[in-house]
Amino acid sequence: MAEVVYADASRVYPGAHAVRAVDRLDLTVSDGEFLVLVGPSGSGKSTALRMCAGLEDVDEGAIRIGEREVTDLPPKDRDIAMVFQSYALYPHMTVADNMAFALRLRKMSKEDVSTRVKEAAAMLDLTKYLDRKPKALSGGQRQRVAMGRAIVREPSVFLMDEPLSNLDAKLRVETRANIAELQQRLGTTTIYVTHDQVEAMTMGDRVAVLKDGVLQQCASPRELYDRPANVFVAGFIGSPAMNLGNHRLTDEGVTLGGLAVPLARSALDAADGLSEITFGVRPEALDLVSDGGFTLSVRLVEELGADAYVHGELESGEKMVVRVDGRTPPRLGDRVRVGLRDTSEVHLFHPETGLRIP
């Protein structure tokens, strides 16, 4: 058990155009916390994880695990265990040997190794497969062996690099719940990398959003969803994405396709001096109305059963998605009127810096 601290840690790939894959990451993962690193491809989330594992150099700053500074320690001295995207099992060893490998290298006694492996196997429902080689296992079982290999070590930190991305959808949902439950039971500090925001939102105590190597926001899933710190986080978290667009700012608020949306005094004060503002509203904060609102031409309707997502265009050409009741969705080509459910559910961002207002 330990906390993990990234103290302005950077990874810079040298070259004519040096790439800052991770740029001054300042992040503390508390003891026992489940932290999810999320971001699009190339955001540096995997690099950040591998820096903690010791598989990538830390070019600037430092990384601490517990009381120890580990910045320059090799992976084996960091007391971490890692689960890889490809599982990275040893193909020539049985499941039991795969799990025992690290313990044997630590010169642990045979009985202790055997006890720990059996415990972990029981926990992961792998007891039947202990004598099998990885190639005789299904994808889900291999994934569990990879988990088992990490668990038997009883490390201070688990590092997981998209461990579910090779599973099919159904198994992924199941395993997602299992991992979250297991982590709670073991109480081991965990850093989990994913590009799947459902995983991020459902598993993490906190979620750190990265873009181009820079930390955008680190907060609880709820906070991230309700108060995104900038335009990027607003657009990245939530599916379908938040409707975002630049609109003219008046004394009262903004005008959206002919609909005047009044803004809170505090927001207007914060936006003082701006003539334009980035205005964001989530699809579920909009609804069809019988009168008032603005007009939307329906271009696509996605029916999901309980809900339906209506993709349409404003008269200005701006695209917008609205969540409506699944039983009575409008039809393609319809012109519908859309209004805000609640004017407090709007998000405002600075049009240039992209930062949240207020």
Are 249 and 275 in contact, with CB atoms under 8 Å apart? yes
Smaller CB separation from other proteins, 91 or 333: 91
Smaller CB separation from other proteins, 167 or 249: 167
Cα 290 to chain centroid, rounded? 38
3-class state of residue 36 by DSSP: strand
- State yes or no: residue 134 binds other proteins (CB under 8 A): yes
How many Å apart are CA 261 and CA 315, to the nearest integer? 17
- State yes or no: residue 84 binds other proteins (CB under 8 A): yes
Are 75 and 58 in contact, with CB atoms under 8 Å apart? no
- State yes or no: residue 153 binds other proteins (CB under 8 A): yes
Binding residue (CB under 8 A) for other proteins from 45, 142, 144, 282 = 142
Binding part of the chain for other proteins, among 52-60, 173-181, 249-257, 334-342 by CB under 8 A, reads 52-60
Binding residue (CB under 8 A) for other proteins from 20, 60, 62, 101 = 101
Which run of H or of E encompasses 68?
A: strand 68-69
- State yes or no: residue 90 binds other proteins (CB under 8 A): yes
How many Å apart are CA 206 and CA 222, to the nearest integer? 9
Are 354 and 232 in contact, with CB atoms under 8 Å apart? yes
Smaller CB separation from other proteins, 37 or 201: 37
Binding residue (CB under 8 A) for other proteins from 102, 182, 241, 301 = 102
- Alpha helices by DSSP H, listed for 80-137, are 95-105, 110-123
- State yes or no: residue 80 binds other proteins (CB under 8 A): yes
- State yes or no: residue 139 binds other proteins (CB under 8 A): yes
Least distance (Å) from other proteins to the CB of residue 97?
A: 10
Smaller CB separation from other proteins, 97 or 318: 97
Binding residue (CB under 8 A) for other proteins from 25, 49, 53, 180 = 53
Write the CB contacts of 332 (distance below 8 Å, at least 6 apart in sequence): 298, 299, 300, 301
Binding residue (CB under 8 A) for other proteins from 74, 273, 305, 317 = 74
Contacts (CB under 8 A) with other proteins, residues 23-42: none
Least distance (Å) from other proteins to the CB of residue 78?
A: 8
- The single-letter DSSP state of residue 112 is H
- State yes or no: residue 76 binds other proteins (CB under 8 A): yes
Smaller CB separation from other proteins, 9 or 150: 150
Burial of 217 (0-12, 13-18, 19+ CB in 10 A): buried
- State yes or no: residue 144 binds other proteins (CB under 8 A): no
With contacts defined by CB under 8 A, how many residues of the chain interact with other proteins?
Answer: 32
| Angle subtended at Cα 96 by Cα 92 and Cα 100, rounded to the nearest 5 degrees | 95
Residues that bind other proteins (CB under 8 A): 53-55, 74-76, 80-82, 84-92, 101-102, 105-106, 133-137, 139, 142, 149, 153, 166
